[in-house]
Amino acid sequence: MPYGLLVTLHLLAAIAFAGTVFFEVVILGGIAHKLPARTMLPVEQALGTRAVAVMPWVLLLLYAVGLAMAWQHRALLAQPLASSFGLLLSIKMLLAFSVFGHFARAMLWRRRGQLHARRSRRLHLSIFCHVLAIVVLAKAMFYVSW
């Protein structure tokens, strides 16, 4: 598959994932305390159900394409300290694997009935911070060098 197509698919999947996390943390989180629990609970449950249906596919695309792109940079990743691009890409990938771990843990907690509101908020906030760092690193890879 051409690298440009990989980049485009990766970017689209990243927008879908990051946009969902942004919406849940910044938009929904900003109104949750202003509405009664009886109003917010069904909204949060419906969003959670929809996210569980859609996000695994978005993440599958995001990570599969990301790994295909990483394969193109395998020489740099073999010696990440040899270049700023390789180091920043390695850090970005570590954060991405951490996000995947967060997502897997959330699915496990949800399946076990242990994903309560406080835990979910903390998890979303952590993922949001990871995603912000990943986006900054993705741009820095092409503009920062030493």
pLDDT in tens, 68-84: 999 999 999 999 999 99
Residue 103 has a pLDDT of 86
The stretch 111-115 carries a mean pLDDT of: 91
At residue 125, φ and ψ (nearest 5 deg) are: -65, -40
Residue 115 has a pLDDT of 87
In degrees, rounded to 5, the angle at the alpha carbon of residue 96 between the alpha carbons of residues 92 and 140 is 25
- What is this structure's pTM? 0.87
Task: State the Cα–Cα distance between residues 134 and 107, nearest whole angstrom.
Answer: 22
